[in-house]
Amino acid sequence: MSAQVAPLGSYSKIRQAAGLVFVAGTTARRADGSIEGVSVAADGKRTHDVVAQTRFALEEVRKALATVGAGLEHCVDVTVFLTDMKYFDAFNACYAQLFPRNGPTRTTVAVLALPHPDMVIEFKVIASLGN
């Protein structure tokens, strides 16, 4: 299991207020700065595995929530940022394995880029300690 990844900037990874838990944008960045789910071919072409990145990032969310006694089952709202909607179906199938149909509300948006060119997905989560 990987070490918890520290934020890249001046912000809190997780905050609590009024019974809610806010988890800052979480990606597939490993503690050493590399990105999960990236393959580089002999010719230098990079391939991104959105399923591997989804699993890794949501594991990071789970670890952050665990620090306040919560888990993925406490999530009430998830915002997903994808760098390309071509990843949507694979991401969506993986997400469905981790969250039940009656799980959190979710918004998925396409973005031009994330902080590292190998990042293809990012999650922002709100959880409730009251559930």
Angstrom distance (rounded) from CA 130 to CA 50: 32
User: What are the tens digits of pLDDT across the range 89-126?
Assistant: 999 999 999 998 889 999 999 999 999 999 999 999 99
Q: Specify the pLDDT at position 100.
A: 80
According to DSSP, the residues that pair with 78 across neighbouring strands are 106, 125
Give the pair of three-digit tokens for residue 38: 């990236």
User: What are the tens digits of pLDDT across the range 47-80?
Assistant: 999 999 999 999 999 999 999 999 999 999 999 9
Residues 6+ apart with CB under 8 A from 40: 46, 47
Q: Which amino acid is at 22?
A: F
Q: Which amino acid is at 46?
A: R
In 3D space, the residue among 63, 72, 80, 55 whose CA is nearest the CA of residue 5 turns out to be 63
Query: Domain 14-128: which topology?
Result: 60s Ribosomal Protein L30; Chain: A; (3.30.1330)
pTM of the predicted structure, to 2 decimals: 0.90
